[in-house]
Structure 1
């Protein structure tokens, strides 16, 4: 499996394989497991999904760092990929973490659908 390299490619692949709703379900499941008070409707637009998730990640980094780390652990975002990111700009960091989160969730959904 080749992972999408940007948000648009991820959404296009998920929609093309009719797995976008499964992606939302998986994300909601992991957010609940991480005790993050956020749930997406299955009909959420991709742009809204990205924006709302990015805002939540930003809030977690700024105000609830332990919960942020727990979320990354629950979702199973690779630690080395997080360490590669520049933490100086929190807004840019939250955007990159949002993509890594969605990319990992997509990987879970794709494997469940194909194996």
Structure 2
């Protein structure tokens, strides 16, 4: 069985996000891990209404912001993947980790 660690990074600060992801990619390459990515998704433009109080119609101008997303996968190298998931990331970067167990092609489960 091979484990695939999927990492998803989100941030409103594109520069910090790119620096974080590129630094991680360099670390993985130095350690010899098989890594796919980073892959960028189109940015999400979000608009959040802001209300002065609970009465309808009394609003401030909506808050607009952009969320940038990058995805990476680490194949095998479980010890390196574990090390990455325990790492401290900047507070402005949200990180999601998903671990998937894959059987080799033609293998029996």
User: Where on the TM-score scale, by shorter chain, does this alignment land: which range?
Assistant: 0.3 to 0.5
Which protein is bigger by CA-based radius of gyration? 2
Q: Give the TM-score of the pair, scaled to structure 1.
A: 0.35
Bigger RCO of structures 1 and 2 (CA < 8 A, at least 6 apart): 2
Q: Give the TM-score of the pair, scaled to structure 2.
A: 0.36
* Bigger strand share: 2
